[in-house]
Structure 1
């Protein structure tokens, strides 16, 4: 860990991590600093023409950010609304796995 991070050791820092790759590293950092881990749930909103193309993102509270070029992606707002609902529901299910404070996050590698 860098010197900047070590300055937080013993001060009970809260380490936030995005699920998948960042959660295991967040667990290592939280443990190394004597802090807590929580996950920040955010999901991509796929376009209507292809699931790999993101037209925005949504967090577990429903806050949404859309790409400025959404109107050129052949993706209508009805699709965006459906995807927003689906992604929020998925994040609610994932939150039960991660727990309110990321307690199980160390074992979740997806």
Structure 2
């Protein structure tokens, strides 16, 4: 299965979500690509839009490999499979975590302009990204959101690695995934147009919501 671009993926997800009973829905996208998809869903469902800020923690010496992720509230998730394969010192992880937390703070100011996060309690919250490879950033986001007492927490993604989808789905009340496969190398392989989304586009998308 392939998608033309993130807008196409968002439209297809919106169709799947249209029949779901939602209470005061809030659509949260993981920047940057997830915000494009979230905006499409929010428009289709007449829902509020915001970002959920979660960042990958790269493995020391192997930055392409996700050791885990950190959420906006500082909640850290470690991928046990990766942790078992690589050697790292705790102080190395602390340096990486602080670096990613600084990036989260930068994005918080840029994307929200100092405004508070959209309230979650008692609402139907849909969290999306352009795909799930390791799932670390999504797990960190879902775990953090759970502490804020949503009525229901829905994971909605166009594509995912099958083995990781099962793990990530544990943290959601409901999962909507258009396509999952073990023949998975990178999220971009499932898109005809997977251009990089810049900060300015995220800001414009959020302001236009």
Q: Corresponding residue for 1:28? A: 40
2:25 to 9, 13, 22: 13
TM-score norm. by structure 1 comes to 0.80
1:93-104 superposed matches below 5 A? 93-99=106-112, 100=116, 104=203
1:8-87 superposed matches below 5 A? 12-68=24-80, 69-70=82-83, 72-87=85-100
Gaps of 5+ in 1: none
Secondary structure at 1:61's aligned position in 2?
A: coil
Gaps of 5+ in 2: 1-13, 119-201
> How many correspondences in the alignment?
107
Pairing 1:92–2:108 present: no
RMSD: 2.6
What is the rounded CA distance, in whole Å, between the counterparts of 2:18 and 2:28 in structure 1?
Answer: 14
Secondary structure at 1:88's aligned position in 2?
A: helix
Q: Is 1:27–1:105's contact at 8 Å kept on the other side of the alignment?
A: no
Q: Is 1:14–1:30's contact at 8 Å kept on the other side of the alignment?
A: yes
What is the rounded CA distance, in whole Å, between the counterparts of 1:59 and 1:90 in structure 2?
Answer: 11
Deviation at 1:101, TM superposition (A): 5.3
Do the aligned partners of residues 12 and 81 (structure 1) sit closer, same or farther apart at CA in structure 2, a change above 3 Å counting? same
Secondary structure at 2:63's aligned position in 1?
A: coil
